[in-house]
Amino acid sequence: MALRIGNSTERKRNMEKFTRLLFLSALAFLLVAAGSIACKKGVEEQLGVRENIIEFEGVAKIGIGKYLYVPEMQGFDIIVQGQVDSGDASALVDKEVRGSGEFSPERPSILLANSIDVKEAGRSWRNVFTKTEEVVLDDYLDLEARDGFEMLEGLSFDKTDVWEGKERGKVYGMLEKETVTEGDEQKDVYTIVVVNDKNEEVGRILVDSITDSALYYVKKLRLFEKFWFYLTIKETVPFRTRVSTSKLFHADVLFSGLF
């Protein structure tokens, strides 16, 4: 009987030790985890501002107005607000550039350039741009803004009610460019060839003006032939012209994109 009691007491003591050890181990794990989380949060808070600054380097391939495309910066459109030397972003095309820009979660595809350097012939770098003014994106339409444009369905020369009485709309098609001479000057004239879901031409829209952002995205996405065009709708073309040329109305192009 005494032996059984002794064995029982020993098992009880071992169980108590195991329970205490398990409790202490769990407590230690929780303390370490809490410390790691606090440490990570502290580092993130310290780096919060710096994390929004992104450096870039590469060869600029597209520059229109304030919009700059550097293929090495996949996923970003670089905005250069202000003069680049004595011009705009087009002065940087085919040049090796480096710089830094500010990233904003509200516009995840936009990088607002703070400074840009160009590599000179002697392999040295020369600063050509430093941001000194607030960025103005008055010709950029985000997804929320694009949702406010009604699709102009059923376009035809004899269905003016599709577009008349509407201030804006969107169409899907191709952008055609023609260079014409007016006096001693040449200028580019644009027309949108609108297609339906069967890829059939249903009409043409005369472009009176087009924003830098619209031209930039058409050129950047050159592997695609067709885009969505976001329009301010203007006057209707005369009936005889609509019948003979399929040109339906005039419009200002505000933006273009794949969606």
Asked whether residue 20 is domain-assigned, the answer is: no
The CATH number of residue 56's host domain is 2.40.50
> Is residue 135 domain-resident?
no
Range from 44-53, 112-121, 134-143 carrying the lowest mean pLDDT: 44-53
Same structural domain for residues 118 and 181? no
**Average pLDDT of the residues in 121-126:** 90
**What is the average pLDDT score of the chain?**
85
The answer on pLDDT for 191 being more than 60 is yes
Dihedral in degrees, nearest 10, Cα atoms 45, 46, 50, 51: -40
Same domain, 248 and 149: yes
Per-residue confidence (pLDDT) for residue 29, from 0 to 100: 45
Closest-CA residue to 116 (of 139, 93, 140): 93
**Residue 248 placed within a domain:** yes
Query: Both 118 and 166 in a single domain?
Result: no
Band of residue 248 on the pLDDT scale cut at 50, 70, 90: very high
Per-residue confidence (pLDDT) for residue 121, from 0 to 100: 86
Highest mean pLDDT among 8-17, 27-36, 57-66: 57-66
Question: What is the domain count for the chain?
Answer: 2
Alpha carbon dihedral 107, 110, 113, 119, in 10-degree steps, equals 160
Alpha-carbon distance of 210 to 194, in angstroms, equals 16
Residue-number span of the structural domain to which 244 is assigned? 143-257
Using pLDDT thresholds of 50, 70 and 90, give the confidence band for residue 164. very high
Cα 107 to chain center, whole Å?
7
Check pLDDT > 70 for residue 234: yes
| Buried b / exposed e along 142-158 (16+ C-beta atoms within 10 A) | eeeeeeebeebeebebe
Q: Would residue 21 count as lying in a domain?
A: no
Whether residue 57 is predicted with pLDDT greater than 60 in this model: the reply is yes
> 83-92 as b/e, with b when 16 or more CB fall inside 10 Å?
ebeeebbebb
The reported pLDDT for the residue numbered 44 is 39
Dist. CA 235–CA 249, nearest whole Å: 6
Cα–Cα distance measured from residue 192 to residue 157, given in angstroms and rounded to the nearest whole number: 15
In a domain, 183, yes or no: yes
**Do both 245 and 224 map to the same domain?**
yes
Looking at residue 38, its pLDDT comes to 41
Average pLDDT in the 165-192 region? 94
Using the structure block, give the residue that is written with the tokens 């930039």.
216
Same domain, 59 and 106: yes
Instruction: Give the per-residue pLDDT at 33.
Output: 44
Contact 219, 110 (CB under 8 A): no
Whether pLDDT at 92 is above 80:
yes
**Which of 76, 109, 130 is the last residue in one of the domains?**
130
My answer on whether 167 and 251 are in the same domain is: yes
Asked if residue 29 is part of any domain, the answer here is: no
